[in-house]
Homo-oligomer: A and B are copies of this chain.
Amino acid sequence: MSIPRILVVEDDTEMRQMLTRYLQKHGTIALPATGENDIKKHFDSGRIDLILLDVMLGEESGIEICSNIRQEHNVPIIMVSALSTDQQRMSGYSVGADDYIAKPFNADLLMARIKAVLTRSRRSASLTHRRRQSSYTFAGWSYDARTSEVISPAGYQVALSQRELALLQTFLANPHIPLTREEIVEGLNVTESAPENSDVSGRAIDMLVGRLRSKVETNPKRPQMLKTQRGVGYVFAVDVVVTDK
Let me know if B109 and A142 touch, CB within 8 A: yes
Contact status of A193 and B135, CB under 8 A, knowing A106-B155, A108-B142, A241-B115: no
CA distance A106 to B151 in the complex (A): 10
Q: Mark A192-222, 1 if CB is under 8 A from B, else 0.
A: 1111000000000000000000000000001
Q: Answer yes or no: A162 CB below 8 A from chain B CBs.
A: yes
Q: Answer yes or no: A113 CB below 8 A from chain B CBs.
A: yes
Residues of chain B within 8 A (CB-CB) of A224 are 147
Residue of chain B at shortest CB distance from A99: B140
Let me know if A243 and B108 touch, CB within 8 A: yes
Q: Answer yes or no: A232 CB below 8 A from chain B CBs.
A: yes
**What is the copy number of this chain in the assembly?**
2
Contact status of A159 and B222, CB under 8 A, knowing A194-B230, A194-B232: yes
Residue of chain B at shortest CB distance from A195: B231
Let me know if B237 and A148 touch, CB within 8 A: yes
Let me know if B229 and A162 touch, CB within 8 A: yes
Let me know if B106 and A142 touch, CB within 8 A: yes
CA distance A24 to B109 in the complex (A): 46
